[in-house]
Structure 1
Amino acid sequence: MTGSWEARYAAEFFGTLILVLLGNGAVANAFLKNTTGNDDPGLANGGWLLVASGYGLGVMLPAMMFGSISGNHLNPAITIGQAVIGIFPWAHVAPYLIWQFLGAIAGQCLILALYWPHYRQTTDNEAVLGTFATSDHANSQLNGFVTEMVGTAVLIFGAMGLYRGMFFHQNIDIANIGVGLLIAAMVISLGGPTGPALNPARDLGPRLVHALLPVPNKGSSHWEYSWVPVVAPIVGAVIGIWIYKIFFGLADCKK
């Protein structure tokens, strides 16, 4: 990573803003009424592939823009996981987390402004919430926790391998593309039970926007579930990064 810590904080803010804007924006386009991605009321024409593409590009593009500046965490689970394993300084964990959450909130506010007419037309409270945050579709917090934990562990393990694998040492942008594809694949393959979040900021920040702002046709923010997409990704990130360390060491992980 290069640049001052202030530049790194800014990169995390704008990177997370872009992630939420493109990811949750794709959800809004797919599931809100009368959008170009869902012009038949009640039918998500854009579908899950549209959503997966939004999140994949929402991670890949900031990685290309800001990866050399801040490391492109965009995710408190990644920041905490790297601090636990000793490759990120604990002194900068709190600032990273603050700017990530602020970026997620700002990105969601932009979505709310852009899609405001479509929120007014969408009477399904759960569809509205789905453009902000995740939920336990099986009505099981345990299933939600396991899904988010395993998914984030796989994500972090995969990202560690992509960025530190020998094949990509000389071309980091290929690794960035790989991480974007990994995110898209995770949403397609593991997104059924919860959404998924895989990222505390991506869920909690927009959930706060849903709860505090006068969103049209909103129902409950489901705070009883909100702890799952915060705690489970952090646990999963620590597990994923430790598994990578156990099998492949840290020689190539220190920057």
Structure 2
Amino acid sequence: MHSFIGEFVGTMVLLVLGIGIGAGSNLKGSIAKGASWHHITMTWGLAITFAVYVAGSLGSKAHLNPAVTLSFATFGLFPWKDVLPYITAQFLGAFAGAAIIAIHYYPHFKATKNEDEGNHVGIFTTGAAIDNPIFNFLSEVIATFIFVLILLNLGDFTTGLKPLILGLLIMVIGQAFGETTGFALNPARDWGPRFAYTVLPIPNKGNAHWSYAWVPMFGPLVGAFMATGLQALVLSMMK
């Protein structure tokens, strides 16, 4: 139960802060409308820092990401019995975080009449800068591969200054790779908010673009499995 609560609350904190900058930089009437990519990636980096601190304090391993949980379990770094509770908590926490932002920015959603004015699913989710499904998928694979490979070599990333280091990692991943697809890195981070955008009564909302959703689902999973598999292979060769 501690692990479930930690993953749920941690993922909720991650998405509240991350989607918050998405809403603030897009919606009409927001003071931060038009914020730079540097500002956005820095916010996501700090979001993961505080989310990991919260999740770790509440008793979870602070995965906050089904791709991390599944790849770690597959290669013996995490018990399979905890996989379903972790993933369930991650998706629910992501949905809850998106719902909070939908409430917080409700007047701004109401003032932003259409997608051209900034009321679009990109506030909540990721999408392609250039629509090319194969390369969009590869972008997510590559970004997640680098992210998880570094993550695996940080040790227990819930203690000391490790969450801050993890936040810096997210920021640099976003600036190096995120300009192509918005660097989902995390199926729950995309699908939970995308579902929230679909079902919640958000004023003037546009298309949820579920046809793209396979990219942020499977790209991070493949990238995480590749990184964790490579790490396991290298360590076995070093023995």
| SS, match of residue 196 in structure 1 | coil
Distance in 2 (CA, whole Å) between partners of 1:250 and 1:101 is: 36
The superposition leaves residues 191-232 of structure 1 with CA deviations (integer Å, 9 ceiling, x where unpaired) of: 111112110001000000111122222221111111110111
Matched residue SS, 2:62: coil
TM-score, normalised by the number of residues in structure 2:
0.92
Q: How many residues align?
A: 235
Among 104, 109, 128, the residue aligned to 1:119? 109
Q: Which residue of 2 aligns with 1:13?
A: 8
Distance in 2 between the 1:9 and 1:250 partners?
Answer: 35
Q: Partner residue of 2:46?
A: 57
Aligned in 2, Cα 1:64/1:249: closer, same or farther, shift over 3 Å?
farther
Partners of 1:249 and 1:154 in 2: how far apart? 20
The 3 A distance-change label for structure 1 pair 223 and 177 is same
Shift of 1:247: 2.4
CA distance in 1 between partners of 2:236 and 2:113 (Å): 51
Structure 2 counterpart of 1:49, which letter? Answer: H
Deviation per residue, 1:12-33 (Å, 9 max, x gap): 0000000000111111111212
Partner of 1:29: 24
Q: Which moved more, 1:96-105 or 1:172-181?
A: 172-181
CA distance in 2, matches of 1:212, 1:89: 33
**Consecutive unaligned residues in structure 1, runs of 5 or more:** 1-5, 39-43
Q: CA deviation at 1:142?
A: 1.0
How many angstroms does 1:149 deviate by? 0.9
Could you say which residue in structure 1 is the equivalent of 2:203?
216
Contact kept in structure 1, 2:124 and 2:193, CA below 8 Å: yes
TM-score (norm 1): 0.86
Once residues 247 and 159 of structure 1 are traced to their aligned partners in structure 2, the CA distance between those partners, rounded to angstroms, is 15
Contact 1:30–1:50, Cα closer than 8 Å, also in 2: no
* Matching residue's letter, 1:23: G
Q: Quick one: which amino acid aligns to residue 56 of structure 2? A: G
Return the letter of the residue paired with 1:118: H
Quick one: distance in 1 between partners of 2:43 and 2:237? 32
State the AA in 2 paired with 1:56. G
Is the contact between residue 19 and residue 59 of structure 1 (CA under 8 Å) also seen in structure 2?
Answer: yes
Kindly indicate whether residue 152 of structure 2 is the aligned counterpart of residue 152 of structure 1.
no
Q: 2:128 is matched by which residue type in structure 1? A: D
Query: Partners of 1:250 and 1:35 in 2: how far apart?
Result: 54
Please give the alpha-carbon distance, in whole angstroms, between the structure 2 residues aligned to 1:209 and 1:91: 28
1:80-159 equivalent positions in 2, closer than 5 A: 80-125=70-115, 127=118, 128-159=120-151
Pairs within 5 Å for 1:169-188? 172-188=159-175
Deviation at 1:105, TM superposition (A): 0.3
Conserved? CA contact 2:12–2:96, under 8 Å: yes
Match of 1:191 in 2: 178
- Corresponding residue for 1:3? none
- Which of 45, 50, 63 is equivalent to 1:73? 63
Question: Are the counterparts in 2 of residues 190 and 196 from structure 1 also a CA contact under 8 Å?
Answer: yes
CA shift at 1:92, angstroms?
1.6
CA RMSD of aligned residues (A): 1.9
**1:51-93 CA-partner distances (Å, limit 9, x unpaired):** 1122111111122233262110000000001011111111221
Q: Distance in 2 between matches of 1:49 and 1:17?
A: 23
Q: Is the 8 A contact 2:99 2:200 kept in 1?
A: no
Bigger mean CA offset, 81-90 vs 171-180: 171-180
Give yes or no for contact 1:25–1:54 (8 Å, CA) kept in 2.
Answer: no
Q: Which runs of 4+ in 1 moved over 4 A?
A: none
